[in-house]
Structure 1
């Protein structure tokens, strides 16, 4: 019989088993990383371009271009694209971040030859029709106005602005008037400059089949699509605002959204990996200090978390939550109090062991399978890192000490280094 009064034993994983990428180039020089694995005959193909917010000269431009590529090509309407993808049980999507945009196809391997021509159309021959643009513009403007009523959105936008200022692409937050300042010709021009064959990188994961390389060469390895001169945008120095408290007033708000943020380090900084352990203890999982204090003990919020974000040029360390408006000052005070505890006291052996087990388990889960590994490879693009980054992470989590975490807290959890942003009344 199982004794349910006793917790099951656990064992830390000795090492990560990460699928290795096979590297090759298409006939026109496009680099391909192929993470082969999985038990099902399914594959994912990511075509990645330097076409993010950093490369665009207007807010909205990068995301609008990426989205409208799927809304009609020289040979296929948006309906025909969607119909063919649905018919074969596939999924076609796009995404945009600060430095890259990508087009992604998920498909059964046996249908690659049917769906790669669709992906080729989308990447090589989008038309950016005025009709589709007008529909998309109206929808996104309405979405923007709806989101602008949410205090958490207002707090997020303001935090980006104050951390980087609008002189830097990271702090260039869209405003409603920007929807009236973008047109189809902007999209066409941005597409020509950034979606070129010599700027493309490909990551394939899953089961690509024996014909994968020949298929990729057939549809993307030729000289029938554009070549562009690569441009490295010169980004200004990261400078935040001078004052430390910001209130975005919303008179009818029942809750206040709180963002407490500071500039931080990037993935290639020596403190980045140990900072992930500090963050997890502080507010990075359900059993964290912040959750225990503000949710479980004081009932101030349903949820609170701390987080780290690494862009290529800068990072963020922050805390995010929503509380009843009348309790916001108490919540802010308790957040800073928890910072002080992290600085002044060592994490107990029991808590540190629990956090290490949690983090190692999450790392295993997040790198489980070829699709997850391809996302990990993509997340390292632009940094001086390779997949050994995750092996180093595993060893660091296993060996970090309570004293090292306290030293990090004394360096990164100084209240005077943080901005406090509150959106609400």
Structure 2
């Protein structure tokens, strides 16, 4: 039994997000540098144009990303692996909505060895035939499995509903379409989108002036790189009518995946950040309304979440959960109820205090290390977020009132606006 009183919980303080030293190199590439005195590790991220919408297929974009490290004009795949391993470096690649991101972590003292390799990976990959065939077949088999997964199928349906069935980001590959992709398609996609003039470089951690100068020199003049356009294929979302219900039956599925979507204002709108907090209060943290009611009280799911997703093409609200096949209708009805209840009875008192602390902790974690700050900058570049976004989040959170949450819920979280996608077995005809 505790005999001493609990220590008081103070309000979170938010330092300003550190400023990067930014410049444009002679090649046209942007360089953003964040130094941390005393750090031994550095992180170098390169944001390259080109994702699924630009490739015309999620699989083409994914294959381009994963094959970057399989061989270049100067390095074989085996040599790349050996160099990374010998120098204690870790490399990762990912393809996002409209960009591919390549990141390497290594000791600051070893970056000069890794830089020529990294430049070749980004600008001169050869996409070797044997590696291409192996990766293509692995991706095809992965998609075969995904098409039997209720979460994947439900997400495909909801993407088509909120983005538009013909939207480039709503394209769904099949195993057959993946196996029909040629190596030439990967090469063509890479060459027509990649150019030194359109990349963004982020360097963070133990960065000395000499290291920053070496990075600038490495990416300032790249005569052997492709001269792609860097143009992004941005298509505004075209949502299905409110109230749309689509389902996919997977015989034998033991549970159903439910995705509820609503259109939302984009990141440039003044309501975006207040709406984001209202969505978080609804289902964005463990103590949210949806978790408290649908998980804790009703036992309809192990977890349910709500998110506001802002992209270059548009924005939408998504509410996701898995539930028993027989509980789909009840779960959707409880979501509708909580949306209405949030507008009528927003968090206040102790609930509002807990919510603000949870959201404040999330924001504070972005500033924990120079590497997390660099990740945040990369996400800003990918999502088209303007400078000052972090400070605006802090200001809005500090001044958040119950009326603010209620106003956003009344305007945007209206049950009649939602559309629902479900994948499972023995599904209802409507919800």
**Alpha carbons of structure 1 residues 288 and 190: separation in structure 2 relative to 1, 3 Å:** same
Partner of residue 173, structure 1:
172
User: What residue is the counterpart of 1:185 in the other structure?
Assistant: 184
Q: CA RMSD in A?
A: 1.9
Structure 2: distance between partners of 1:236 and 1:191? 21
Shift of 1:165: 2.3
Task: Go from structure 1 to structure 2 and tell me whether the alpha carbon gap of 1:112 and 1:229 turns closer, same or farther (over 3 Å shift).
Answer: closer
CA distance in 1: counterparts of 2:230 and 2:110, whole angstroms: 36
Task: Work out the CA distance in 1 between the residues paired with 2:345 and 2:13.
Answer: 30
Once residues 26 and 2 of structure 2 are traced to their aligned partners in structure 1, the CA distance between those partners, rounded to angstroms, is: 60
Deviations 1:277-318, CA, capped at 9 Å, x for gaps? 111211100011111111111111111111111111211201
Correspondence 1:312 to 2:312:
yes
Segment drifting more, 229-238 vs 307-316:
229-238
2-structure distance, mates of 1:199, 1:210: 24
Give 5+ residue unaligned stretches, structure 2: 426-431
Q: Which residue of 1 aligns with 2:12?
A: 13
Cα distance, 1:324–1:7 mapped onto 2, change above 3 Å: farther
* Cα distance in 2, alignment partners of residues 52 and 376 from structure 1: 19
Q: Which residue of structure 1 aligns with residue 370 of structure 2?
A: 370
Quote the residue 1:291 is aligned against.
Answer: 291
Change (3 A) 1:25 1:239: closer
Question: What residue number does 1:37 align with?
Answer: 36
Equivalent pair of 1:19/1:36 in contact (CA under 8 Å): no
The equivalent of 1:416 in structure 2 is: 416
For normalisation by structure 2, the TM-score amounts to 0.93
**What is residue 226 of structure 1 aligned with on the other side?**
225
Q: Which residue of 2 aligns with 1:119?
A: 118
Give me the whole-angstrom Cα distance separating, in 1, the residues matched to 2:79 and 2:11. Answer: 50
- 1:4-403 equivalent positions in 2, closer than 5 A: 6-37=5-36, 39-226=38-225, 228=227, 230=229, 232-233=231-232, 235-242=234-241, 244-381=244-381, 385-403=385-403
Hey, what's the Cα distance between the residues in 2 that align with 1:82 and 1:145?
Answer: 29
TM-score (norm 1): 0.94
Query: Structure 1 stretches of 5 or more lacking a match?
Result: none
Q: Secondary structure at the match of 1:309?
A: strand
Task: For residues 98-128 of structure 1, give each alpha carbon's deviation from its aligned partner in whole angstroms, at most 9, with x where no partner exists.
Answer: 1111211111000011111221221222111
- Is the 1:196–1:225 contact (alpha carbons within 8 Å) kept by the matching residues of 2? no
Q: In the TM superposition, what whole-angstrom CA distance separates every residue of 1:330-362 from its partner, at most 9, and x where no partner exists?
A: 111111111110122232222111111111111
What number of residue pairs does the alignment pair up? Answer: 424
Q: For 2:53, what is the secondary structure of its paired residue? A: coil
Q: Quote how far apart the aligned CAs of 1:87 are.
A: 1.5
Could you tell me whether the CA contact under 8 Å between 2:256 and 2:322 is conserved in 1? yes
Cα distance in 1 for residues equivalent to 2:157 and 2:187 = 30
* TM-aligned CA deviation for residue 231 of structure 1: 5.3
In structure 1, what is the Cα distance between the partners aligned to 2:173 and 2:249?
A: 18
Task: From the superposition, tell whether residues 151 and 383 of structure 1 become closer, same or farther in structure 2 (CA, over 3 Å).
Answer: closer
Inter-partner Cα distance in structure 2 for 1:229 and 1:83: 30
Stretch moving more, 117-126 or 229-238: 229-238
Post-superposition, which runs of at least 4 consecutive aligned residues in structure 1 deviate over 6 A?
Answer: none
